[in-house]
Each structure stands twice: as structure tokens, then as C-alpha cells.
Structure 1
Amino acid sequence: MLQVRTMVRHARLVFEALRGRYHRNPEHHHVGRNRADMRALSAMIDGGLCLYRDVRIVGPVPGVFVGDVFTYRAELIVVGLHSATQAGIGYVPASHLSEGHPVATSIVSSGAYLDDHDNGDVLLYTGSARRPRNGGNHYSDQEFQRGNLALAYSCKYGVEVRVIRCHDCDASPNAKLYVYDGLYKVESSTYGPGKSGREVCQFKLVRLPGQDALGSNTWRAARDLTNALDAKIRPPGYLTMDMSTVKEAVAVPIRNTVDQDLSPLEFEYLARPELQAVPKPARRVDKCCIYGKTACAASGCTCVKRNGGGGPAYSADGTLVRGRPVVYECGASCGCPPGSCPNRVTQRSMRHRLEVSRSKETEWGVRTLYLIQPGAFICEFTGDVVAADHPRVANANGNASAAGASTEEWGGFVDPRKFPPRWREWEDAGEEPPRFAQYPTPGYVIDVSTRRNLVTMCPCRH
């Protein structure tokens, strides 16, 4: 299961890297075909990078979990969860089956029709028909054809159907997100007049028992909780509404509904890593943006060049275009404006709402209350920066090794030299191999024993 989960993760990272590339370089667009997500999907199909493209899976898709969230419908096709870019019903054609009848494998439900009704475990789903381009109800009678016919045969043969729900989401680039909610059985298939005055195909789907909790319910709960926090309403179980005490651009609440542990409140919150002795800035020979007029996203920017070529490291919205071992940002010796330079993403503080939460399975951890795009900057690892050859570090290493601690955690020290190279999963996305500049091995560790932020607090609790 871990191996196929990794395959799904990699496919999604490749899709996002390609989508970012096409979004950043819109040349050669054709009228009606200029959507970066659809171009990324087309490239993955042509390159044989989509999962389960040669088969139509009935039932659960290996490596896709109930509750997984997707930003684009094209992603559903990339991982094999759905088979159509526009149609709401995915199905196996009759020509592929010995019985000679099509069967549905998945539906995308958005509650768009008047006859739709959804309480989570039971879904009344209206079949597909012609609709106006700008949305709204259908303008002709539905028929038992294509997806509608397949869904009717899924009812007849007892074929389980994957249900993906579409939700409105301001944090998504296309204002939508798609949540996989598991397997449903089609209990009934009827045909008759609908509320629109047209004949409709309607299907009753009932969720199969024994599955993980509905991801859509989790999404709605997170949205309601976000609204409460925005309204300064303190929900039950919150120890504080902001552990950073206004040191971050957004509040960082702490939630514990499991036990009486208050340990996160015992540490001093540090929004930025601090050096024991701040070194003098090195004099630069090839100053970047010396006159403050150069566009730092352009290839002529010295800092951008240090990132290995191939354009800027970040897209226009501040997300990382592809995985890199290190990103060189413009700094104090650059003439570009700190507030608007596109190559200064990590210097603008935390922007996403995160909270520290206690659970029975993982003790203390960090969770987000809304969608975060792949490649988005979340926050820094903070603490007191200490030289890696400091005697205290050596002593801690020895003690931690004897105790069997993890490779990233050494008795209160976080060692960046021990982080796994996860960036390689997003490294090339089928492109020409990147030309990363040489960078020095970090000569420091981060002491989080007394001062830290939300991400460096949680690993040291294990």
C-alpha cells in the first residue's frame, strides 16, 4: 500500500509541476485550449504518466484514500479515480465487458440539479443531460444513454461506485475542490418528471459501511471552524487563540480535546530562527537588481540564475515551480523592493492558517484548516541557530543515538543535514534535468529546546 500511495503522490506532483510550467509559459496556446491543467493532463497522457490509464478500475483505486482532496478534475483522471474531464459519470463501455452492458465506476456530484439531494450517507443523484454553457438546469428530457445507462446497469449488477463531491473553495485556483468520499451502492434507478418539468433519470446511492469518515464532512467542519475563529469565537478545547502572541501574520491557535497536556504553552514562541552572533553581510560583486528596477522574475536576475536556470523558482502566486535542494532568494544587498519582489517568498512570514492540535494517534501535530496548494510556502523551522561543530551538539548527538532517536531529532536539535531529499519527487516532471547550482552543506543545527515555533515544537514531543 505504501508503494502505490507513493506512486499516486508522485503522479500528482508531476501534474502540478507541469501545470505550473504551462501556467507560467502560456505561449503556443490555442483558442479554447489554453487551460494549464488540461495541457498538463494531455502531456501526462502522451507521456504515459497517468496511473491506470489502460484499465478501468471498478471499486477502490490503489493508493487513493477516502478523504483525499483534488484541486482539478484533471487530477482525478491522472490518478485513475474518474475517467471524464467534463461528464459527471465515469463508466466502462459495453464493448469492454462480456455482458455487453456498460457499468458506471465513478460520479462527480456537485448538487447542480434541482432534484439532487445529499445527506452524506444517502445521495439522490440526477443523471446527465444537455445543459446551458453557463450552467443551470438541463433544457431537454434525459435519456438512459451513455453514463445514465451505465449507472442503471451498476444498479442492476450491484457494482459499487466511487463518489467524488465537488465543493466551492475560495482558496483553490479555480474556486473548486474535489473530495473523494468512498464507495456507494446504487440502490435504485428511476425515470420520471423532475422539478424542472423535464423527464430525469434519478439514482439513489447509499454509502457502504466500514469506510473512513466522509472527507466532505471534514471539509465542511474545517470551514465552519475557520469561520468561528475569524469571528473571534473560541471553540471548545482551544487552549489559546494565538500561541505566537501576534508574532505571526496569522494567529496560531492550540487545540486539545484529548487530555490535559499544556506543554506547547511552556515554550517561548520564535517566529524567525535567530543566530547567536549575526554575521556581517558579505560584499557582493555581482549585485542583483542594483538599481531596484530589474524584474527579479526575469532570467537576468543574478539570484534567479543561482537557482539553476529554467526561469524563476516561484510562480506568480509564490508557489514553488518544482522541487529544488535549495532556493536562493533576493536579500538585504539586493536593490529590489522587499514587499513586492517575486523572489522573496519565505521572507513574507506565514500566510496559511495552521493550528497545533493534540490527537490520540500522533500526540501533538500541526494541521491546516483549508486547502494549501502544492509548492506553497508554509513556514520556517525556527529556533536558536547553533554551529554544527558546537560541543553541545556533539554531546546531544551521542546521547540521542544511544536512545535511538530519529535522524532529524537530536536531543532538542533539528539537523537540516539529515532531512531526506523529498524534493527529488518533484524534481524534473518529465522535463530536461535541472541544472542546480552547487550549494554548501549546512554547517548549523537548530536548537529548539527552549525557543521554537509550531513546526519545531511538535517533532520533539516524540
Structure 2
Amino acid sequence: MVFDSFRLLFVAEEEKGVNVHTETSDQRAFAVMRRHGLWLNHNKRIIGTIPGVCIGDIFVHRTELAIVGLHGQQEADIDYLPSSMSSKGEPIATSVIVSGGYENDDDQGAFIIYSGHGGEDKNSRQVFHQKLEGGNLAMERSMHYGIEVRVIHSVQYEGTSSVFHKVYFYDGLYKIVKSWIDDKSGFDVYKFKLRRIDNQAKIDCVDFNPRCVLSLDISNKEENVGIRLVNNIDENHDPIYFEYLPRAIFPPFVYQHSGRETSCGCIDGCMEGCFCFIKNGNEFPYNQNGILWKGRPLIFECAEFWGKFIGVKSTPFV
């Protein structure tokens, strides 16, 4: 919540041409939170489960992983406790990101064959021998001591602007059960076999257990896109019988202070000084892309024009 508030504030500044930086909005939010001590588990290197992070939690930005203490490295996919901070005097791996970025990676669900770090070119092709150092050594030492590592999956998807993005989701704890050197590519590559710890919550229940899908469309075709209802927590199948309302209905007191006015009357989108602008505290709650950039208890929406001008500079009126 704090991270996204900072990030959207910086997005709004960039759109207005104020305080333009070479860093992205999430990187700026990342730096501000670090500078003010707002990271969770600040200055801590936790081995095992991170308090407050649940299996299946999704992170849109890699910087978020460091903020919550899940994975501290911004580029390397193996994060580890250096020997200087380890009680054993040796590096210990704490987390890995499985991205499929290495040509020999193999994700089999309960087991993962993970390639070590180093020796790749910009296209992730092996061009040099890997060495038993850094993250590779930390993985080998974690296997030796039987220490569990956190596994985060990186998934690539195509955004609305045809630009590929990545999201990250936490898969739980794995134990490194085997390591070896693979030279099929002509170069030595360290390989690690990771086994998922038993009795952990499962993810992707829609793919593996269709019974947890209670309804394919709770809106009963009231929406253009079906809204699926899923319960992978317990055996409760409620709510089954209820009326889906495609539009919000508010009690009369919400409108009492606005008189008979139901919209601002702007033709080409809401303008500064119009009825909607004033009711929203003399500012627009949404940016040019229709994203709510600051949380607030109530947003006034112009029902007659919002659907037509969303993303331009219209403000919805509720």
C-alpha cells in the first residue's frame, strides 16, 4: 500500500513533467522507502519463511521483493547470506527466482532443476565455465546443511501496449537435494535439484483442481468478461444464490450534499473547475491512464460521461 502510493505519486509527477528522473517510478519508490526505513524486515536477512508473506502472493515489481525481504538482489536470481553474516562462516542461499531465463532450467512443479549463476551472454546462452563461488557456492552450502530456500516464480505476460512485463509470485520453501556439474553445452554448468517442502499451500488451483472453481461467471453475463468465483481455502460453497449488480447502488444520503446535479456537463471530458473536479477536492483522482493515483474514502464519478471519456481526463461521479 505504501509502496504503491509512492509509485503512483511519482507516475503522476512524470505525467505532469515534474521532477522527471531516469529511474522508473517503482525504483524511486524503492529508494524513498529504503531511505526512510520503511522496508519490512529492514537490515535483516531472514532464512526461511518471511512473516506476512503467503504462498501465492503476487508482486508486480521486482523491487517489491526486496522491500518485504523476500529476495534482496535486483539483478541476480540467487540471493544469499554472505559468509560475514552467517553463523557458519560460509555463504547460505536464502531465495531463488525461477524465470526460465536459463536455457537448461526445468520447472516440474514439486521438483525444479535449477541452473547456477554465471557464464551466460546477454541471450542467456552459456559461453563460459561456471565457478563454485557467490550464489553457486551458497546453494551448495545450503544443500550441505539442509537449509531451505524460498522460491519465487517470474512469469512474463504481454501488457495492453504489447510490451512484455513480468510478475512474480511466491511458491514457498524448497530444499536443495542434489547438485552436479552439467557440461552438455560444452561448458561447466552447476545444476541443483530443488524439492518442494511437503504440507505447504498449493498454488494454481484452477489448473490442478477444477473443483475449487465454484462459478465460471457470477455476473451471469452481466459483464463483458466472465467473473470466476474460486475457493481454494475450505469447503464452503457460498455464496451460491445472490443477485449480481453490475452497477453500484448508493443510499440517498450520498447525494444529499450535491443537490440535483448528477454530472458536470463537460462535453470533452472533465475540466479543472467543473462540478466533478470540485467534489473531488479540486483535483482529479485518476491520471491520464485511468489509474487511481491516491487512495481516498470517496470518489465522485460522472456517470453520464465516465464510460465515454475514461482515460482522457474525465472524473467519474458517484
TM-score category of the 2 structures, normalised to the smaller one: 0.7 to 0.9
Q: Which residue among 284, 293, 300 is the counterpart of 1:312?
A: 284
Q: In the alignment, is residue 165 of structure 1 matched against residue 153 of structure 2?
A: yes
Distance 1:20 1:253 in 2: 28
How far residue 188 of structure 1 moved from its aligned partner, in angstroms, is: 2.1
Q: Which residue among 53, 66, 73 is the counterpart of 1:84?
A: 73
Provide Cα deviations, 1:178-201, integer angstroms capped at 9, x if missing partner.
11111111122222414x332211
Distance 1:131 1:300 in 2: 57
How far residue 48 of structure 1 moved from its aligned partner, in angstroms, is: 0.7
Paired residues of 2:33 and 2:39 also in contact (CA < 8 A) = yes
Amino acid at match of 1:18: F
Paired residues of 2:174 and 2:194 also in contact (CA < 8 A) = yes
Distance 1:302 1:116 in 2: 57
Aligned alpha-carbon RMSD (Å): 3.7
Amino acid at match of 1:247: E
Paired residues of 1:112 and 1:137 also in contact (CA < 8 A) = no
Measured at CA, do residues 239 and 109 of structure 1 come closer, stay the same or move farther in structure 2, by a change above 3 Å?
closer
Distance 2:221 2:244 in 1: 10
Instruction: State the match for 1:328 in structure 2.
Output: 300
How far residue 45 of structure 1 moved from its aligned partner, in angstroms, is: 0.6
Instruction: State the match for 2:247 in structure 1.
Output: 272
Amino acid at match of 1:312: F
Provide Cα deviations, 1:233-287, integer angstroms capped at 9, x if missing partner.
xx8898875554433232346789999989845x55442356899x999466xx8
Question: What's the TM-score once normalised by structure 2's chain length?
Answer: 0.80
Q: In the alignment, is residue 127 of structure 1 matched against residue 100 of structure 2?
A: no
Equivalent runs, 1:94-173 vs 2, <5 Å: 94-133=83-122, 135-170=123-158
Q: Which residue among 305, 309, 315 is the counterpart of 1:340?
A: 309
Three-state SS of the structure 2 residue aligned to 1:25 is helix
Q: In the alignment, is residue 177 of structure 1 matched against residue 167 of structure 2?
A: yes
Q: In the alignment, is residue 249 of structure 1 matched against residue 215 of structure 2?
A: no
Alignment coverage as a number of residue pairs:
307
How far residue 108 of structure 1 moved from its aligned partner, in angstroms, is: 0.4
Three-state SS of the structure 1 residue aligned to 2:180 is strand
Distance 2:238 2:231 in 1: 8
Instruction: State the match for 2:6 in structure 1.
Output: 18
Distance 1:253 1:178 in 2: 22
Amino acid at match of 2:276: C
Amino acid at match of 1:308: G
How far residue 123 of structure 1 moved from its aligned partner, in angstroms, is: 0.9
How far residue 344 of structure 1 moved from its aligned partner, in angstroms, is: 5.7
How far residue 341 of structure 1 moved from its aligned partner, in angstroms, is: 3.8
Paired residues of 1:20 and 1:315 also in contact (CA < 8 A) = no
Measured at CA, do residues 53 and 255 of structure 1 come closer, stay the same or move farther in structure 2, by a change above 3 Å?
closer
Equivalent runs, 1:401-412 vs 2, <5 Å: none
Instruction: State the match for 1:57 in structure 2.
Output: 46
Question: What's the TM-score once normalised by structure 1's chain length?
Answer: 0.57
Distance 2:223 2:134 in 1: 53
Distance 1:73 1:61 in 2: 16
Amino acid at match of 2:151: V
Identity of matched residues, %: 34
Distance 1:237 1:101 in 2: 44
Three-state SS of the structure 2 residue aligned to 1:22 is helix
Paired residues of 2:55 and 2:201 also in contact (CA < 8 A) = yes
Paired residues of 1:163 and 1:180 also in contact (CA < 8 A) = yes
Amino acid at match of 1:15: F
Amino acid at match of 2:64: E
Amino acid at match of 2:3: F
Distance 1:115 1:54 in 2: 34
Paired residues of 1:338 and 1:344 also in contact (CA < 8 A) = no
Equivalent runs, 1:255-404 vs 2, <5 Å: 264-265=240-241, 268-273=243-248, 282=259, 288=264, 290=266, 292-293=267-268, 296=270, 300-308=273-281, 311-332=283-304, 338-342=307-311
Unpaired runs of 5+ in structure 2? none
Provide Cα deviations, 1:145-204, integer angstroms capped at 9, x if missing partner.
22112112111222211011111234699622211111111122222414x332211111
